[in-house]
Amino acid sequence: RWLERTHVEDASSVLRRAIAAGHFREDTPAALFHDLGRVRARIAELGARFPEDTLHAVAIKANPLVEILRALVAAGAGLEAASFEEVRLAMAAGCPPSRIVFDSPAKTKDELAWALALGVRINVDNFDELERIASRIGQTTPVHIGLRVNPQVGGGTIALTSVATRSSKFGVPIERRKEIVAAFEAHPFLCALHVHVGSQGMPLASLVEGVQRVYSLRSEIEARTSPGRVRTFDLGGGLPVAYRPDDAPIPLSAYVDALKATIPGLFAGDLGLVTEFGRAIHATAGWAASRVEYVKQAGGERLAVIHLGADLLVRRAYCPDEWHHEIAVLDAEGRPKGGQAEPVTIVGPLCFSGDVLAKGLALPRIDPGDFVLIHDVGAYTLGMWSRHCSRGLPLVLGYDGDTLSVLKDRETPDDVVAFWSRSREEPPGSD
């Protein structure tokens, strides 16, 4: 159940509530929905499976909406920031700095200085960054600094999201283990090891092997420094979800059991743990509904034109074979549609031919005014939004049991003009 997606009937009932409450009006082209209750339950399950003091720093890049981050923090999670802007988002969501983990392969000197002053945790990506930090740290600065190590376990089934290949740009490759140990000897402030193997498409064995390889550095570091020197181990994220009904997701319990069996030292109680899950928390908690604007015939195909396309689902455009989203059709009132299935191609609003959500899909007959429901869009969607054709971000609604709320207003055309203007204050023609 952990990774299960929202059922069509449940989505339909939330959509109808949103229409009745006036959130999703006739002139609203599309909206995203996020099940905050489900997200909260996932944080609770992380808490139950890992040792109690584990910091579950949810990857902001998976879903950066401040209201969603606020819900995560309220549920007891911390936040992982992949840029300084995400550190700011975490602060805006009320996350205490000691529960923010700052990762990025491109931190500037200023960003490092700000991060140190704020007291957020930093995962260092490379030796040059380590020297930058060393030159700024005073003896008494309270810091929590880890080193990201690339375990070089190879790629998974999706090249684009595999980050532990031999020549990956992330972290210090584990083949440089002597230098890694020497870095801990030279820099007493280094207190943590960090690994992240990939996102979607990594088999369980590779996830565990990646952690194991980096964990193997602990004893070498402690032999050359002092026992207990590695205070924290950051496992990263990477738990895949099932976008296709026949994909086998890796349940959290299976991952934790495999870690316990292979690396018992992680759970011995003398090491602080950090996780950085993103996709597994959000992907299946989010779904989208778009009105069907037109239905047209072209080359013998029936095409349904909707308001969300490759702007929301960028990956569908550049690796359509690897990325799939389940799709359903609801009638104009938001009820699941029945009847004879017929093939339809669903296309988005952008001006290139790759903007196709599904080709020749067998669905109950779609008519203009119906809704197309797109499943599993809770992670790496809005946060990767493409500004192509200058369309504004859609409305985002959240729900938690019976409570429905606006998580983000729809961007208006004026908001978009402001976005593309020289400065926020003076969009041309704004008077």
Residues forming contacts to ligand LLP in the complex (CB under 6 A) are 59, 62, 80, 103, 161, 196, 199, 236-239, 276-280, 315, 380
CA angle 125/131/136 to nearest 5° reads 110
Query: Where are the strands (E) in 152-281, listed by range?
Result: 172-173, 190-194, 232-234, 272-275
Q: Copy the structure tokens of residue 232.
A: 């924290």
Question: What is the closest distance, in whole angstroms, from the C-beta atom of residue 311 to ligand LLP in the complex?
Answer: 14
C-alpha–C-alpha distance, residues 257 and 423, integer Å: 52
H or E element that contains 289: strand 286-298
- Encoded tokens for 330: 């609801």
CB of 161 or CB of 212, closer to ligand LLP? 161
Find the residue with minimal CB distance to ligand LLP. 237
Is 243 or 371 the residue whose CB approaches ligand LLP more closely? 243
The alpha-helical segments, DSSP class H, found in 50-146 are 66-74, 84-92, 109-118, 127-134
CA separation for the pair 334, 140 (Å, rounded): 60
In angstroms, what is the minimal distance from the CB of 263 to ligand LLP?
Answer: 18
Whichever of 49 and 196 has its CB closer to ligand LLP, that residue is 196
Q: State the minimum distance, in angstroms, from the CB of residue 219 to ligand LLP.
A: 24
Closer to ligand LLP at the Cβ: 191 or 329? 191
CB of 312 to ligand LLP, least distance (A): 12
Please, which residue, 99 or 337, has the CB nearer to ligand LLP?
Answer: 99
- What's the closest the beta carbon of residue 120 comes to ligand LLP, in angstroms? 14
CA separation for the pair 124, 145 (Å, rounded): 7
Is residue 324 within 8 Å of 315, Cβ to Cβ? no
Contact 132, 155 (CB under 8 A): no
For residue 223, the minimal CB distance to ligand LLP (Å) is 27
Shortest distance in whole angstroms from residue 74 CB to ligand LLP = 20
Would the CA dihedral through 69, 72, 78, 80 be positive or negative?
negative
Nearer residue to ligand LLP within complex by CB, 129 or 276: 276
Q: What's the token pair of residue 249?
A: 């997701």
In 3D, which of 31, 44, 35, 32 has the Cα closest to residue 5? 35
Beta carbon of residue 197, minimum distance to ligand LLP (angstroms, whole number) = 9
Please answer whether residues 367 and 408 qualify as being in contact, where contact means their C-beta atoms are separated by less than 8 angstroms: no
Alpha-carbon span 361 to 357, nearest angstrom: 10
Task: Decide whether 24 or 287 has the Cβ nearer to ligand LLP.
Answer: 287
Using an 8 Å Cβ cutoff, are 174 and 149 in contact? yes
Give the residue with the Cβ less far from ligand LLP, 212 or 275: 275
Q: Nearest distance from residue 101's CB to ligand LLP, in Å?
A: 8
Cα–Cα distance between 87 and 380 in angstroms, integer?
A: 18
Cβ at position 62, least distance to ligand LLP in Å: 5
- Whichever of 98 and 168 has its CB closer to ligand LLP, that residue is 168
DSSP 170: S
- 57, 80 Cβ separation under 8 angstroms: yes
Give the residue with the Cβ less far from ligand LLP, 278 or 348: 278
The answer to whether 123 touches 194, Cβ cutoff 8 Å, is yes
The pair of structure tokens assigned to 257 is: 């059991």
Q: Which is nearer to ligand LLP, 239 or 407 (CB)?
A: 239
Spatial separation of the C-alpha atoms in residues 27 and 85, rounded to whole Å: 33
Distance separating alpha carbons of residues 344 and 268, to the nearest angstrom: 55
**How near is the Cβ of 280 to ligand LLP at its closest, in Å?**
6
